[in-house]
Amino acid sequence: MNAAWVSLHSWAAQNGYRGLRVLPLSPSAAYALTTLNGVFTVRVGSQTAYWDQLDIRLGFPPQLIGDQIYLHPLDINKTLKPLARGLTVPTTAQRVVVIDPGHGGSNPGTRSIVDGRLEKEFTLDWARRLSPLLEQKGWQAFLTRTGDVDVSLPDRTAFAEAHHADLFLSLHFNASGGNGDPAGVETYCLTPTGMASSVTRGYSDDTDQVFPNNTFDAENLRYAVRLQRALLEINGATDRGVRRARYPAVLRGSSQPAVLIEGGYLSNPREARKIADPAYRQKLAEAVARALE
Ligand SMILES: [Zn+2]
């Protein structure tokens, strides 16, 4: 990395923010920057940052240079700046949202450890509950599938393009690959060019790649933060973070802002029992709708 790292002190001063506080935590100090729209907390050596206590993954661990914390310029431009400018998103009338229930047909997705039911069934149910709620809030909502059918990933993004979507929202549930017994919600948007992804799932992650969806890096992050925040309010305490990834083809291939939600772990018995409850799935839908008000 040759790009010049940015002193958070200097950046804060240049942008008129006075509230950079040092929090003397072990094993390394954390720094909390108060902006008009929220508090950004970072720690030397850690890619986990917080926006108003919400877990946001940075592209690069901040460095201590002299006695100041420095951030990579991509984290300044692609993470801190869009958040500091506020989480407002466009609110023109009759915006179009394409809701994408993950999987379908011969592609079942993951399976509930509790009752064997399939991810494809739960994502479709979530999407069906969400659609009328968004319509009530002034969105025009379309689903990439309305039944248990195969839809290819390119067809899903092409569908959004054909409907002139303002937002593409892909709904999934998660399963652990065997490392522990995780639970909680993750929200993904496309990794900005130049950054390594927070999650690769074994796919190659070429940081030089520029995708059309990278045009929407700032809006992607704002939508992701709004959605993750709203989902945590109903999911409980397990914040698995706003993350960046390149492998989801529905994010890369989207020609409008796009976010993918992993709404909980079907491999975790406690969470799988919640997801099996229609009342909980209604809450998930209501949380998404609230985030898009
Ligand atoms: Zn899935």
What does 208-234 look like in DSSP terms, one character per residue? T---GGGGGHHHHHHHHHHHHHHHHHH
Residue-wise pLDDT for 142-167, tens only, equals 999 999 999 999 999 999 999 999 99
Output the pTM of the full model: 0.94
For residue 26, give both structure tokens.
């072990």
Matching residue, tokens 């229609």: 278
182 CA distance to ligand 1 middle (Å)? 16
Residue-wise pLDDT for 14-61, tens only, equals 999 988 898 877 777 899 999 999 999 999 999 999 999 899 999 999
Q: With beta carbons less than 8 A apart as the criterion, state whether 92 and 162 touch.
A: no
Cα four-point dihedral sign 157, 163, 164, 166: negative
15 CA distance to ligand 1 middle (Å)? 40
1 pLDDT more than 80: no
Q: What is the pLDDT of residue 199?
A: 85
177 CA distance to ligand 1 middle (Å)? 13
The span from the CA of 7 to the CA of 202, in Å, is 33
Q: What is the pLDDT of residue 2?
A: 53
- What confidence tier does 189 reach under pLDDT thresholds 50, 70, 90? very high
The span from the CA of 62 to the CA of 70, in Å, is 6
102 CA distance to ligand 1 middle (Å)? 5
Q: What is the pLDDT of residue 53?
A: 86
Per-chain residues with Cβ under 5 A from ion ligand 1: 102, 109, 172
204 pLDDT more than 60: yes
13 CA distance to ligand 1 middle (Å)? 43
Q: With beta carbons less than 8 A apart as the criterion, state whether 252 and 196 touch.
A: no
19 CA distance to ligand 1 middle (Å)? 41
Helix boundaries (H) for 64-196: 73-75, 81-84, 119-136, 153-162
> What number is the average pLDDT over the span 119-148?
97
Those residues whose C-beta lies under 8 Å from the C-beta of residue 45, and which sit 6 or more positions away, are: 28, 61, 62, 63, 64
